[in-house]
Amino acid sequence: MSTDDQILIVGGGLGGLTAALGLARRGRSVRVLEGAPEFGAIGYGIQFGPNVFHAFDRLGISDQVLAVADTPPALLMLDVLTGKVLVRIPTGASFRARFKYPYIIVHRIDLHNVLLDACRRNGAIELVPDAMVKSFEDGGDRVAVTTADGRSFSGAALIAADGFRSLFRAALIGDGEPRWTGYAAMRTILPMAELEADVPRDCVVLWGGPGCHIVHYPLRHGSEFNLVAVFRTSTYAEKGDAASYRAELKETYRDAHPTTHALIAMIDLQWRRPIGDRAPVRHWHKGRIVLLGDAAHAPLQSLAQGAGMAIEDGLCLAETIHAANGDYGQAFRRFEQLRLVRTARVQLESRAMWDFFYHVGGIERDVRNATVAGWDEAYLFDCLSWLYDGFELKSANGR
């Protein structure tokens, strides 16, 4: 394969690396440009439904992923005010029998390293760290980019996997700032031995209630504890100091169940981000450039599927490029057709869950709690099947 056919991927996150592996597996040469000084992820936990294993199987990395992941026995939703368990989704044997693969929780760094190792073993993939792309030009038959330090690269096509604040989305779609929710997230990882709160240590637990939620789960075979607090605040976009963050957390969770107070006391006051998403759009490509993952369709994290969708995208796009045999317009259109409804559903359902399920108070909370009381395992599995049954790849390449 001549380097004239090489494809540029901007962004070495989970979506970009999956696309690189998917293309290399089909014999394509790729160069991945990552803006950070090193390839690797920021360290916190991430959840995946069984749907990602359809992609991991194809890439031959499922065993390596399972070796670094935990498989919780259940996903629990608790009322943040009373501590009552509202929903229990069993993720043990019956879940595995229904969805073929497990639900996993994993340290993002560990998953990233599995993908990076696979990329490094593949001679068709060149990884270029410290390459922050600042500008680009689509010349019709090739795409050229320039990095912040003045280097230039070019490729037959470009995959923009540059995440939530995508430079390429701004140019191709131009829909401005993300839609900010008015919520901020703060997260922490601590040794399990330091956890003092009386909470389930082996499950994924979501506490949901008026204007706030908390998520926690174990990592690294139960040796670490991942904790995220998300809450509505008028200061979501502002930077504060530790004392103001501490006071705000205390006030926000004042009426929450006492157990959550012990959790909130463990929150690291350094990491705080505003939470936003994107509305679905129909087209993610122009000429020889295509967006994937968060750059194309960033959701809220209610379904814990943003990275899952980026991974599914990466493999799907690699297959449509392979099948189109050099016709990038056709490959990118097919990719959009195959991925639009599924990713838009994740965006829209995540918004609905955020507003009408996670964060409700008053009568809405009474209705939520009464409604979910009738949900049994069979019903929950049916509700989740559109997502967890995975994405059918066969149609991507006609086989």
For position 10 contacting ligand FAD by CB under 6 A, the verdict is yes
Give yes or no for residue 22 binding ligand FAD (CB under 6 A).
Answer: no
> Is there binding between residue 308 and ligand FAD (CB under 6 A)?
yes
- Kind of pairing between the strands at 7-10 and 30-33: parallel
- Please work out the total of residues on this chain that contact ligand FAD, with binding judged by CB under 6 A: 34
Helix (H, G, I), strand (E, B) or coil at 359: coil
15 touches ligand FAD (CB under 6 A): yes
Binding flag, residue 229, ligand FAD (CB under 6 A): no
State the chain's maximal CA–CA distance in angstroms. Answer: 64
DSSP 236-253: TTS---HHHHHHHHHHHT
CA atoms of 305 and 52, how far apart (whole Å): 9
Q: What is the SS3 assignment for 27?
A: coil
Contact flag: residue 144 with ligand FAD (CB under 6 A): no
CA proximity to 124, closest of 268, 239, 26, 50: 26
Helices 14-25 + 306-324 axis angle, to 10: 30
- The window from 41-49, 236-244, 333-341, 367-375 that contacts ligand FAD (CB under 6 A) reads 41-49
Q: Counting contacts by CB under 6 A, is residue 72 touching ligand FAD?
A: no
Q: Quick one: which of 112, 89, 111, 125 has its CA closest to 39?
A: 112
x-or-dash string of contact with ligand FAD, 112-141, rule CB under 6 A: -------------------xxx--------
13 binds ligand FAD per the rule CB under 6 A: yes
CB of 46 to ligand FAD, least distance (A): 4
Alpha carbon distance 295, 201 (integer Å): 34
Work out which of 70, 162, 248, 319 binds ligand FAD, going by CB under 6 A.
162
- Can you tell me which residue has the tokens 């600042």? 134
Q: Which residues contact 268 (CB under 8 A, 6 or more apart)?
A: 186, 187, 188
Residue 34 near ligand FAD by CB under 6 A? yes
Q: Does 301 bind ligand FAD (CB under 6 A)?
A: yes
Among 23, 24, 46, 77, binds ligand FAD (CB under 6 A): 46
Q: Any contact of residue 163 with ligand FAD (CB under 6 A)?
A: yes
Q: Is 161 a residue that touches ligand FAD (CB under 6 A)?
A: yes
Q: What is the sign of the dihedral through the CA atoms of 187, 71, 164 and 179?
A: negative
By CB under 6 A, name the one of 7, 77, 157, 167 that touches ligand FAD: 167
- Which residues of this chain interact with ligand FAD, rule CB under 6 A? 10-16, 33-36, 46-48, 131-133, 161-164, 167, 185, 228, 293-295, 301, 304-308, 310
